Structure formats: structure tokens, C-alpha cells
Amino acid sequence: MIDRVMQAVDDLWDAEVQFLQGLVRRPSTLHHEAEIQNWIARELAEMGLEVDRWEIDPGALKSLPGYSPVEWSYHGRPNLVGTLRGSGGGKSLLLNGHVDVVSVEPIHFWSHDPWGGEIVDGRMYGRGSADMKSGIAAMIFAVKALQRAGVRLKGDVYLNTVIEEECTGAGALSTIARGYRADAVVIPEPFGQTALISQVGVLWARVTVRGAGAHARSASAATNAIFKALPLLQAVKELEAEVNRPEAKPAVWRDIPHPINYNVGQFHAGDWTSTVPAEAVFEVRIGTYPGENLEDVKARFKDRIMEAARRDPWLRDHLPEVIFYAFHAEGADFDPNQEIFAALADAHQAVTGTPIRHEVTTATTDARFFQLYQGVQTTCYGPSGDNLHAADEWVDLESVRSVTKVLARLMMDWCGADA
Ligand SMILES: [Zn+2]
């Protein structure tokens, strides 16, 4: 039976590559997720799965742990679950993937069409090709291979595609709020066929710095907000260095040279070359260790900004504003003694002939919701690729095929299968 399923993955391989190309060719940056979700929903319906589609009601999520407040609307931005009903008596598995991708700018840095899904030497290029449309293709085609091989699972499988993994996790949180709960969750994020055991937390901060604007002819008497932001940016870098000191690292992070990144990801100021900018705004993505209280991390960040401001004669009287929005993601550990890790290790060993490795990531994933707030054993296991969030993102296609086989095996083992 297993051989039939593995053969079915190979037989469906060309179709899987085309499907992944179809995903990459549907740009799905923030607010533009409907087209790809509708396309996936059609595919899941054609496979005979029960398709559930919903939009997020932030009011219903607000009181839940892990909620991230946003400044935008969820209208027209669906989340999905396709349910493959088992025959009964087996454990259930939820496979989750995020359809959202980050911006492709600056686009002139790309040597491949970011929305083209071009294939060169076994790699598919494009935004989301690795992170994580390849994982979504793998989880859907693992189910297709089971169906083609005539395998009926005992437990239910949920194929869950969500929005906003890259900024809030609201799609995953809303899946839980909608009542979905499985015996285990696997997220095929592109971590090179490793099993995830720990991830950092993430906060987003926005710092608004006031200057005194003027015509450039009197610039020497004005206060340029760009220059007033500089000591505050310096304070961010100093705090980042402090939290990465070896003695500040929890044990599992000791071998990671720089686990906590305080990334200044946006800086906006000025709109006219002959005007002194009256305001500068910068945004920082703040990493945290698992177990750190987000309110403490926020307070520490804000204190440092204010301390730096008080050392400046202008800023002392015009204190910056610090707010936190979107990502309020706690760090999370995923105990490798949980059963799903053993099942995944067996499936990985059977397909690749090598033992599975564990991974810690200096990024966040939606895995935190299922593990921390639902108490469901969770990990990530997905394909290999590179240049995530950068130009020329790519995925290694053979790793996608391998992950598809591992997920198919995992479903048969975890959920149980009737011949
Ligand atoms: Zn991802």
C-alpha cells in the first residue's frame, strides 16, 4: 500500500509542479489573498473535501491569547479548511500553510520574474515558492496521492490555508476560534526537512520622532526629524546587542550566534528635498525568546527609546511616541518528546534514508497558536529553499517531492489507513 502511495506521488509530480507554479503566479501579499484562496478552495472541492471558508472577525479574536491588534480590515480575505473525513477510529492531523507572502520590492534586484514560477536546474524561483507555497502544494498533493492509491484514512485530515502568518497569525488563530482541533498539527514551512523544536517571539514597534519643519533656506534654525531619529536607532542596536549576549541566551539557543534580531524594517521621513522633515517614523521587528513576557519586552524597548531621547536636548522636550501593533507573537518551544515527532522521524527516515534533524528558528511561525494556546502537539517540517523575504527566492523541487512523500506516509501512520 505504501509503495502505491509513493508511486502516486511520482505519477502526480508534474501536476504538483504545475500547481505550485499556479500558487506562485497568484501574488498574495497582504490584502490580496482572495484569488489564491479561491483557487485553492476549488482544488480542495474537486478532491471531494468538505470546504469551509470564512473571513476573520477581529472582535471575536480580541479576547483570545495570541491575538495581534491591527489597523486594517479583514473584509474579502478568506481562510480555508478542507476536511478529508476518515472512516473512524484514527487520530486526526491538521496540516496548516500560510498563503500570504511579503513584498517583492525592490523588484529590480530580481533576476527571475518574482511571480513567474520559473524553473532552472531543479529550482523554482518566485516570491512564496519556498515560503510557503511549496509546503501547501506538498500537503495537498500528499492527500491526492493517498486518494489516487485508493487509501482510506481512519482519522480526519484538515488542510488549512490561512492569511497573515507574516504579520499577525490571525488566520491560524481564527482557525482555532472556529472550532478546529486535531490530535497533532504539522506546518510545512521551508526549514530544510527538519523538525522545529523552538522559535522566537516577534513584536512590531513603531517609533514616531518629531522635529521642527521649515523651508530649507532656514534649515540651520529648524530641527530635522531624520537626524533626531539617529540616536534612537542607535539605542535599538545597543539593546539588540545586549539581548544577544551569550549569558542572556536560553540553553536551546546557545549555539545560535545571533538569535534575537531587532530589525529596523521601515523608515519614513520627508517628502520634499527643499523642506526640513518635521517627522520621522521607523518600525522595528523585535525578536524575543520563548518564555519572555511580551509586556516586559515592550516596556524594556520603550524605556530604552525614552532614555536615549532624554539625553538629547530637543527630544527631551519632544519625546517620541512608541506604539506596538500587529505581531504580538510569543516565542514557543515544541517538545520533541511529543508523539508527532516520532511519527515524523519515522516517515522522514523511510523516505530519505537519513535521520531527521531538529531545528530552532530565529523567525516565528503559526505553530505557536496550536501548541501554546490549544495544547496540541505541533511542529514544522517542510522543503528546502533560500532567499526567503529577499530577491530570487527559490525552492528545491526534489525536496518538495520528498516532503510530499513524507507527509503522505505520516498521514497513513498517524491517522491509520484501511487497505
Ligand atoms: Zn513562512
Domains along the chain with CATH numbers? 2-198+332-418 (3.40.630.10), 201-329 (3.30.70.360)
Residue 265 burial (CB count, 10 A): 11
Distance 280 CA to ligand 1 centre (A): 30
Distance 308 CA to ligand 1 centre (A): 34
Distance 389 CA to ligand 1 centre (A): 9
Distance 273 CA to ligand 1 centre (A): 38
CA end-to-end span of the chain: 7
- DSSP string for 251-308: GGGTT-S----EEEEEEEE-S-TTEE-SEEEEEEEEEE-BT--HHHHHHHHHHHHHHH
Locate 30 and state its grid cell.
Answer: 497582504
Distance 365 CA to ligand 1 centre (A): 6
Distance 335 CA to ligand 1 centre (A): 21
CA gap 253, 362 in Å, rounded: 9
The answer to whether the CB of 301 falls within 8 A of the CB of 322 is yes
Distance 388 CA to ligand 1 centre (A): 8
Distance 3 CA to ligand 1 centre (A): 31
pLDDT of residue 313: 94
Locate 70 and state its grid cell.
Answer: 491591527
How many CA atoms within 13 Å lie on the side-chain side of 211? 23
Distance 187 CA to ligand 1 centre (A): 9
Distance 165 CA to ligand 1 centre (A): 7
Distance 245 CA to ligand 1 centre (A): 27
Distance 186 CA to ligand 1 centre (A): 13
Distance 419 CA to ligand 1 centre (A): 35
Distance 33 CA to ligand 1 centre (A): 15
CA gap 95, 91 in Å, rounded: 13
pLDDT of residue 48: 98
Distance 138 CA to ligand 1 centre (A): 14
| Residue environment code for 179-189, b if the CB has 16+ CB neighbours within 10 A, otherwise e | ebebbbbbbbb
CA gap 41, 55 in Å, rounded: 14
Distance 404 CA to ligand 1 centre (A): 17
Residues in CB range of 208: below 8 A, 6 or more apart: 279, 280, 281, 320, 321, 322, 323
Q: Which of 331, 326, 367, 335 is nearest to 243 (CA)?
A: 331
Instruction: Let me know the angle formed at the C-alpha of 269 by 264 and 275, rounded to the nearest 5 degrees.
Output: 155
Distance 149 CA to ligand 1 centre (A): 30
Distance 104 CA to ligand 1 centre (A): 15
Distance 189 CA to ligand 1 centre (A): 5
The answer to whether the CB of 315 falls within 8 A of the CB of 231 is yes
Q: Which of 270, 51, 249, 54 is nearest to 162 (CA)?
A: 54
Distance 99 CA to ligand 1 centre (A): 9
Distance 233 CA to ligand 1 centre (A): 27
Distance 362 CA to ligand 1 centre (A): 12
pLDDT digits (tens, 9 = 90+) for 225-275: 999 999 999 999 999 999 999 998 998 899 999 999 999 999 999 999 999
Residue 44 burial (CB count, 10 A): 22
Q: Is residue 261 exposed (0-12), middle (13-18) or buried (19+ Cβ within 10 Å)?
A: middle
pLDDT of residue 65: 95
Distance 276 CA to ligand 1 centre (A): 40
Per-position pLDDT tens, the chain of length 419: 999 999 999 999 999 999 999 999 999 999 999 999 999 999 999 999 999 999 999 999 999 999 999 999 999 999 999 999 999 999 999 999 999 999 999 999 999 999 999 999 999 999 999 999 999 999 999 999 999 999 999 999 999 999 999 999 999 999 999 999 999 999 999 999 999 999 999 999 999 999 998 887 877 888 999 999 999 999 999 999 999 999 989 988 999 999 999 999 999 999 999 999 999 999 999 999 999 999 999 999 999 999 999 999 999 999 999 999 999 999 999 999 999 999 999 999 999 999 999 999 999 999 999 999 999 999 999 999 999 999 999 999 999 999 999 999 999 999 999 86
Distance 132 CA to ligand 1 centre (A): 5
DSSP-derived secondary structure letter, 133: I
Distance 290 CA to ligand 1 centre (A): 18
pLDDT of residue 219: 75
CA gap 341, 368 in Å, rounded: 16
Please state, in angstroms and as integers, the Cα–Cα distance from residue 410 to each residue in 86, 139, 189, 277, following that order.
15, 11, 16, 57
Distance 20 CA to ligand 1 centre (A): 15
CA gap 325, 390 in Å, rounded: 23
Locate 77 and state its grid cell.
Answer: 480575505
Distance 286 CA to ligand 1 centre (A): 17
Distance 164 CA to ligand 1 centre (A): 10
pLDDT of residue 284: 98
Q: Is residue 358 exposed (0-12), middle (13-18) or buried (19+ Cβ within 10 Å)?
A: middle
Distance 364 CA to ligand 1 centre (A): 8
- Asked if the peptide bond before residue 47 counts as cis, ω within 30 degrees of 0, the response is no
The answer to whether the CB of 124 falls within 8 A of the CB of 385 is no
Distance 135 CA to ligand 1 centre (A): 9
Distance 120 CA to ligand 1 centre (A): 22
